[in-house]
Amino acid sequence: MTRLWKTALMAVLAVVGSAGPVLSAPTAPEVTEHTLTNGLKVILAEDHWHPLAALEVCYRVGVRNDPYGKQGLAHLLEHLTYRSVGLPPAEGVTPTERPGRARATTDHDTTCYSSQLVRAELARALTVEAARMATLQIGADDLAHEKAIVRKERRQLVEGDTWRNLLEEVDSVAFRLHPYRFPTVGWPETLAQIYMDDVQRHFAAYYSPANAVLVAVGDFDSRDLLAHIESTFGKTPARALPLPSLYREPAQDGERRLLVAPQAAPRLVYAYHVPAFGSQDNTALALLSTLLSGDEDARLPAVLYAHQLADAVGIEYSSLNRDPGLFYIKVALASPVNFRLTGEAVDDVLWHLREEGPQPAELERAKKQRLIDWYLDQSTRAQAARLAQYTTLSALPQAQRYPEDIRAVTAADTQRVVSRYFAPTNRVVGITGIAHQQEMDRREQGEAR
């Protein structure tokens, strides 16, 4: 359905002929910011155009904060908090098992608990989230049970997925010191080294009011809701903030390559080091991802599909990282597999963008596509998640400036970021399924003889 909507909107834009008036920002709800006496940051955006509300509570704790040898602790703690408040974990739970549609996510820098509700369910959801912040009441059986669930998650979602396996290996090579090199779920060996004291210590350090952000968007009265937040979350005493986790990754001084699972499906990943949130290049990199792979007419699909080198092409990039991260170009190779030609084709696309820049119509089309995606993603849940992520980065004013920032990107900006970051010496190349290439080489050699 999203694809149909995007196609329809693009058709409308083509008829109108101008992105300016059509893609001007809709009226956004007023955003207010408050800080409780215990340090909890509260962001409210009251909006009555529908009867829904979204609640987002984010803690500044993620993979970066896992003690060495205990990778997966932050994610395991996310699971355990559900048992503490008497609710089943968010993963695999049907909406009828608790009010609203809830989920939780642990990533590199944050752990967030999200709920989409009707107005009448807000009070209970706030009570649950306040209890999650206040105390962790679990036993040894809870810890063992959730460890087993996380191990099962890893088997299903990582070990059973060629892409996730490859990207995990690429991350481990791209970062030498930074904990971004570690997977969110850890490994069975690191989970085995996590004990009850570790969990309780992590909870006490990071689930403190001043280390959290609460965002509510939607159908409520801001004054009444703030009073309710103060009466629930305000009871949790202030605790000292944890020491900041600061890391400085050594600069990469040459291309790194790794071969993984030679018998797997043929995959190629180029991972380039790119700057952290707050760089002037973030928006240009976001637009570049659309220029490269926004649709089947974008630069990479247009070349790789036309020459039957790829079955699928994708980009993974997020600017919302506290520290420098990676820009991934992912290619699922077509048969007959040829890694050399595929890699050369990707390099050729990047070379042309660096030397010539995008065409004016191409740049405008990519901007329209980014803006359409942004406007289509204006649900209460998406708005709450966006406000929370920007607030954890101490950048709330930037949360609503995205359309203006996209419009301001120039062709020279895209050339600059390709030139600055997309050199072979700044990348990691990951390959799976090399056996397919070797088999093709053997056949060619046999035919030559």
For residues 101 and 206, membership in a common domain is answered with yes
For residues 49 and 118, membership in a common domain is answered with yes
Residue 274 sits at the vertex; the CA angle it makes with 268 and 278, to the nearest 5 degrees, is 145
Residues in the chain: 449
Query: Which pLDDT score, from 0 to 100, does residue 90 have?
Result: 57
Q: At what angle do helices 411-421 and 282-293 cross, to 10 degrees?
A: 90
How would residue 112 be classed by pLDDT, with cut points 50, 70 and 90?
Answer: very high
Rounded distance between C-alpha atoms, residue 399 and residue 391, angstroms: 8
* pLDDT per residue as tens digits for the range 407-448: 999 999 999 999 999 999 999 999 999 876 666 666 666 655
Query: Which pLDDT score, from 0 to 100, does residue 441 have?
Result: 66
Q: Is the pLDDT of residue 21 over 60?
A: no
**Do the domain assignments include residue 18?**
no
For residues 176 and 305, membership in a common domain is answered with no
Joined together, the tokens standing for residue 380 give 């209460």
Query: Which pLDDT score, from 0 to 100, does residue 9 have?
Result: 47
* pLDDT per residue as tens digits for the range 367-416: 999 999 988 888 899 999 999 999 999 999 998 899 999 999 999 999 99
Helix (H, G, I), strand (E, B) or coil at 335: coil
Residue that is written with structure tokens 């700057």 in the block: 275
- Beta pairing class for 111-118 and 310-316: unpaired
- What are the backbone dihedrals phi and psi of residue 257, each rounded to the nearest 5 degrees, phi first? -130, 145
More confident residue, 394 or 9: 394
Neighbours of 212 (CB within 10 A): 29
CATH of the domain at 286: 3.30.830.10
**What mean pLDDT is predicted for residues 254-271?**
93
**Do the domain assignments include residue 189?**
yes
Q: Strands (DSSP E) along 60-123, which ranges?
A: 101-106, 111-118
Name the residue range of residue 332's domain: 251-448
For residues 202 and 324, membership in a common domain is answered with no
For residues 111 and 153, membership in a common domain is answered with yes
**Do the domain assignments include residue 15?**
no
Q: Is the pLDDT of residue 17 over 50?
A: no
Report yes or no: 290 and 298 within 8 Å, Cβ to Cβ: yes
Rounded distance between C-alpha atoms, residue 345 and residue 350, angstroms: 9
DSSP string, 232-298: HGGGSPP-PPPPP----PPPP-S-EEEEE-TTS--EEEEEEEEPPTT-TTHHHHHHHHHHHHSSTTS
Q: Is the pLDDT of residue 194 over 80?
A: yes
Rounded distance between C-alpha atoms, residue 419 and residue 325, angstroms: 17
**Do the domain assignments include residue 423?**
yes
* pLDDT per residue as tens digits for the range 46-105: 999 889 999 999 999 999 999 999 999 999 999 999 999 988 765 544 333 444 467 999
Query: What DSSP element (H or E) covers 343?
Result: helix 339-356
Query: Which pLDDT score, from 0 to 100, does residue 444 have?
Result: 62
Query: Which pLDDT score, from 0 to 100, does residue 309 have?
Result: 96
Number of domains, the chain = 2
Bridge partners of residue 52, in order along the sequence: 118
Report yes or no: 273 and 252 within 8 Å, Cβ to Cβ: yes
**Do the domain assignments include residue 213?**
yes
Q: What is the separation of C-alpha 274 from the centre of its chain, rounded to a whole number of angstroms?
A: 15
Averaged pLDDT score across all residues of the chain: 89
Q: What separation in angstroms does the CA of 86 have from each of 20, 83, 90, 98, 150?
A: 50, 5, 12, 10, 19
For residues 117 and 259, membership in a common domain is answered with no
Share of residues in the chain with pLDDT > 70 (%): 88
Q: Of the candidates 204, 235, 266, which is a domain's last residue? A: 235
Query: Which pLDDT score, from 0 to 100, does residue 38 have?
Result: 97
**What mean pLDDT is predicted for residues 285-295?**
95
**Do the domain assignments include residue 245?**
no
Q: At what angle do helices 282-293 and 299-306 cross, to 10 degrees?
A: 30
pTM exceeds 0.85: yes
- Which of 65, 172, 62, 79 has the alpha carbon at shortest distance from 132? 79
- Beta pairing class for 52-59 and 212-218: antiparallel
For residues 277 and 151, membership in a common domain is answered with no
Q: Which residues contact 36 (CB under 8 A, 6 or more apart)?
A: 42, 209, 229, 230, 233, 234
Neighbours of 243 (CB within 10 A): 7
**Do the domain assignments include residue 126?**
yes
* pLDDT per residue as tens digits for the range 333-349: 999 999 999 999 999 99
How would residue 158 be classed by pLDDT, with cut points 50, 70 and 90?
Answer: confident
**Do the domain assignments include residue 367?**
yes
Rounded distance between C-alpha atoms, residue 403 and residue 394, angstroms: 19
Helix (H, G, I), strand (E, B) or coil at 305: helix
Query: What DSSP element (H or E) covers 313?
Result: strand 310-316
For residues 185 and 257, membership in a common domain is answered with no
Residue that is written with structure tokens 């790829």 in the block: 310
Report yes or no: 10 and 359 within 8 Å, Cβ to Cβ: no
More confident residue, 21 or 244: 244
Q: Is the bond leading into 336 cis (omega within 30 degrees of zero)? A: yes
